[in-house]
Amino acid sequence: MSRQEVILSQNLQESLEQAIGKCPHDKLFVLADECTARLCLPLIREATCLKDAQYITIGATDTHKTLETLATVWKALSDQGATRHSLMLNVGGGMVTDLGGFAASTFKRGIAYINIPTTLLAMVDASVGGKTGINFNGLKNEIGVFAPAKSVLIDTNFLRTLDYQNLVSGYAEMLKHGLISTTEHWAELLNFDFNQVDYAALQTLVAKSVRIKEDIVEQDPLEHGIRKALNLGHTVGHAFESLALEEERPHLHGYAVAWGMVCELYLSHLKTGFPADKMRQTIQFIRETYGRFYFDCKQYDRLYQLMTHDKKNTSGIINFTLLGEVGDIRINQTATRKEIDEMLDFYREAMG
């Protein structure tokens, strides 16, 4: 898999001109959702390189990350004369970069695309690393391909357009990066103040997060080994997210990942010796920042069933990424049904 270029831009229009200049094309398409089209496209629409671009707009939020939306993008590309030599620019959060990347990588067996992530979640996670996909059959990211963008242009000025919920949603992935890297980085992430957001400090933290993910993806682009470190919190988190969608009470991805980390840090403490004090500190931060996801013991069977669909599983055995310590990554860990029920019990007690 080719390595994508990730640029932390200080001048987005200039970076965009350069990135598009590296991708010869006959037609240029810009994909955005309804919110991004209103809040973010005005920041780049006057760029000279976009003067002949054709725009495709889709519905916002993860509820539109579907086969139906994907088909509307394919149809728009086809109806507007896209060829194998066309270029697509995905401007938006993780839903747009995931779905747009999948649409581009499958239309006419693949056209080039560039990501401009506009949410914190997309900047530090979804747009970087070459994963694309859609939700299907009630399951998160069930259908997709590895297909890296030609470039990912990150401009943290977009973060000023985010509300609190979307800001902290992305921050959950950064906290995960802290847990799989160093104690120092983990500690500085726990000390960030969302009541008075320091955007300059946040930009520095974003750069660190992107470097952590890039380093892991470069070692293991197709997720055969160490890239599974990036799934900390996701086995349980995706189950929470899917259950919430089923029950028509959807939650942002980062919230589900944060709640999933509570569970998987407990499993880490139970099975691989993760320190209790660091587990408690992290859980306190998550409880104060993200609140809790409500479920009862009657939903344990469904949550377990959803975990069995996780893409890291082999032969129906649920695989977790756990930690022995901050930065001490233990991939391909398993747990019994009894341990998983105990983990869910712990979550409900610890989160209040």
Residue predicted with more confidence, 9 or 312: 9
- The whole-model pTM stands at 0.91
Sign of the CA dihedral with 44 first, then 47, 50, and 52 last: positive
pLDDT in the model for residue 2? 61
pLDDT digits 0-9 by tens, 202-221: 999 999 999 999 999 999 99
Q: Where are the alpha helices (DSSP H) in the chain?
A: 12-21, 34-39, 67-79, 94-106, 120-121, 164-179, 183-190, 199-219, 234-246, 253-272, 276-290, 300-307, 337-350
pLDDT digits 0-9 by tens, 6-61: 999 989 999 999 999 999 999 999 999 999 999 999 989 889 999 999 999 999 99
DSSP H/E element including 112: strand 112-117
DSSP H/E element including 136: strand 134-136
DSSP 8-state code for residue 314: B
pLDDT digits 0-9 by tens, 51-82: 999 999 999 998 999 999 999 999 999 999 99
Mean pLDDT, range 305-321, rounded to an integer: 87
pLDDT in the model for residue 54? 98
pLDDT digits 0-9 by tens, 81-105: 999 999 999 999 999 999 999 999 9
Residues of the chain with CATH 1.20.1090.10: 164-192+222-350
Residue 317 class from Cβ within 10 Å (0-12 exposed, 13-18 middle, 19+ buried)? exposed
Residues of the chain with CATH 3.40.50.1970: 5-161
CA distance 341 to 274: 19
Residue 3 binned pLDDT confidence (cut-offs 50, 70, 90): low
Query: Average pLDDT over the chain, rounded to whole?
Result: 95
Query: What is the architecture, at CATH level 2, of domain 5-161?
Result: 3-Layer(aba) Sandwich (3.40)
> Which residue is listed with tokens 């949603």?
169
Mean pLDDT, range 182-196, rounded to an integer: 96
Query: What is the architecture, at CATH level 2, of domain 164-192+222-350?
Result: Up-down Bundle (1.20)
